[in-house]
Structure 1
Amino acid sequence: MPHCSLIVTLSAASLFLVPAPSLAQVTLKPDGQWRYLLTAGANVSSGNNNASSLNLAAEAARQTTNDKWTWAAKADHARNDGVQTTERYGLRTQYDRDFSVDGFGFGSAETLRDKLANIAARYTVATGVGRHIWADEHGFFDVSAGLGYTHDRYVAATNVAGAMRERYGRLELVLSEESSHKLTETTSLRQKLTLYPNLRNSGQYRAVLDTGLTVAMTQAINLTAGLSYRYDSDPGSSVEKADAVFVTGVSMRID
């Protein structure tokens, strides 16, 4: 799996070389209050190169001393010389609950639409257990493992898992690590890597890597930069296996 080494390298780079997030940093405080983060980025050029892009994201989080509930939504659009180059929408939620000092259980649900990747709709649900490796005022590091189910509906029928299909469902393992790091008083780094080995077809897998850097300009306004990397070992015919999106923007906290 040559792409496994690439994913690991990207993840390590996010920790030690810094820049990169479609993941910004919604405030987490164990007081049971909902907090929000809204992020927007845009780019327009004309003349020899007519291009434009728009990236919107929203996060919400509620944390107590023994549980955490998060939501995240994203919309990415880009055009180059009149040709659509990105059109992706995503929505995700996850609930974590501690059952011991270090252990927790989780349940998650996610939906994705990516027309250019031939995904009319992807639905994923998962549940499992995890461990808090460390957590303090400077951040946290968690690992988790579980079982999930993913169902894809395609824009056009494609050859997946050895057959022409309009839709495809499968059980998957869900292996994840996530961390947040307060680098300075104004700068925070966050990254998450999740692997989805296919239990229906051995040897096939998906991988998702998101890393994010947030720099506070004021108490409410932040500068963000983001890298999102997606890999599918069997995405269907005439579709690239890997997608990477780099986004910079401005975010506003609502605490």
Structure 2
Amino acid sequence: MAYSDIYKQIGFQKELMRLQKQANFGSDREIKMLRNLGIKDDSVILEVGSGPGFYTKVLLDNFPNSEIIALDNDEALLNFAHNMLNNYGNRVTFMQDDIMKCTIPDEYFDIVIARFVFQHLSDQIIALKEIYRILKPGGKVIIIDVDSELWGLTYPKNELIKNLNSNLSKYQTSINGNREIGRVLLTLLKKLNFKNLNIEAVINHSDILGKENFRFNLDKGIENDPRLGVIFKEYNDFFNLNYSSIMILKLFFYGEKSK
């Protein structure tokens, strides 16, 4: 199933809203981590799976002396990004291509960033080989992703969130993705000869960012279904508790191409 098939089902505008929220959610902490991992503001950066450009904008705003190439295989999302970011001029270039078999020349980029992309790929090894090929000697790759076992930890423990994680993981597998990619990415980087490996985490917590920012958009129409109505009630009861909290771990995987 292509990604476009998914957003056609839920609605293009609704998916844009979700992606915009995802891009800006705790982005200041992500930028701090990128800098800690050695991203300098004079780089040629490839953003893999750039989609509608919301995270591209975050990168452009925080690395104003860098050139960003936004790569995605979805024409509609790239067109949206191009229209939204046209005021950044030649600092950003949009490229419709596939990281699994891209047309980029060898040893071109200082930095490759892939944010919430690898969980969707059918063959992560092929993608990493391509990334290794297009990185300059000494170039850096940073993969930001999740592992279903570490995503959405709640207090008090909430079975709805646990079940949601399980169902998302099963769904990802059914469309040839892997929501448990977090536990294997560093091993794959090592296997493909990336050096100076590192793994870090950025933690988003509802007591810092606000609990409403973690709330999923459930359609209130489900209240008319007795089975789904129970889930809806449990979900809202959790968020309405004045002492409940939730945290999400974003994992940062780092490697370098040999000089």
Interval of TM-score (by shorter of Structure 1 and Structure 2): under 0.3
Q: Which has the higher strand share?
A: 1
Q: Normalising to structure 2: TM-score of the pair?
A: 0.28
TM-score for both structures, normalised by structure 1: 0.28
As a proportion of its length, which structure holds more helix? Answer: 2
